[in-house]
Amino acid sequence: MVLEVYLGKEEKLPARLIIEKVPPEVANEKRRKLKTDKQNKRKNLSEDRLMFCDINAYITNTTEEQLPANDIRKYYSLRWQIEIIFKAWKTVYKIDQIKQMKIQRFEAIHYGALILIVLTNRLLAFCKATLYLKSGKEISELKFFKTSKLILTELRNSLTKPLEMFPDFLSLLTSHAQKACLKERKRTRITPFLIINPNP
């Protein structure tokens, strides 16, 4: 179901509200998570809120030509890739845990962490492309970030060696990623890579 709606108190902005019914097992799982979520334990969940679990609702200002209603859930799932990246930064590099320190030390530590994050992202992109072209398999971003932290010594050593030896480190990293970082493929779910590249 697609409805034309208007958002805003003063200036009314046109948008599309797209509603789709979900399978009973999906709705029941959403209700289970609501009831067991720590933030909701102290709240009384209304019947309306629980009934809302039977549907997915999306609001967008794109046109039907730009984003067909039938494709919106597929593309909306890409949003979670951003969440995964932020989760990796917080879980692996602890960028949200800041102790009291002098500003100079803070800047040194966190600029260093950001440089490491950028470098890890570049290595992730290399390994993802290499493994997909080689075997058609995708890498889990969170698993890769955790794995990359375990081999920081090898990375540091490779950066101090002659440039022509760096491919040896990339080969080692790719091999390790293939063993420990592959994404679990679910039959009913299309991976982000295939959403972006439907005909790789």
Q: Per-residue pLDDT tens for 183-197?
A: 776 655 666 666 666
Q: Tell whether the model's pLDDT for residue 38 goes beyond 60.
A: no
Tokens 């890890």 correspond to: 120
Average pLDDT over residues 61-88: 83
| Bridge partners (DSSP) listed for residue 6 | 14
pLDDT at 15: 92
Pairing of strands 2-7, 55-60: unpaired
Is pLDDT above 60 for 9? yes
Beta-carbon contacts of 155 under 8 Å, excluding residues fewer than 6 positions away, are: 119, 148, 169
Provide the 3-class DSSP secondary structure of residue 46: coil
- Give how far the C-alpha of residue 49 lies from the chain's centroid of Cα atoms, to the nearest Å: 26
Dihedrals phi, psi of 182, to nearest 5 degrees: -70, 145
Write down the pTM of the prediction.
0.62
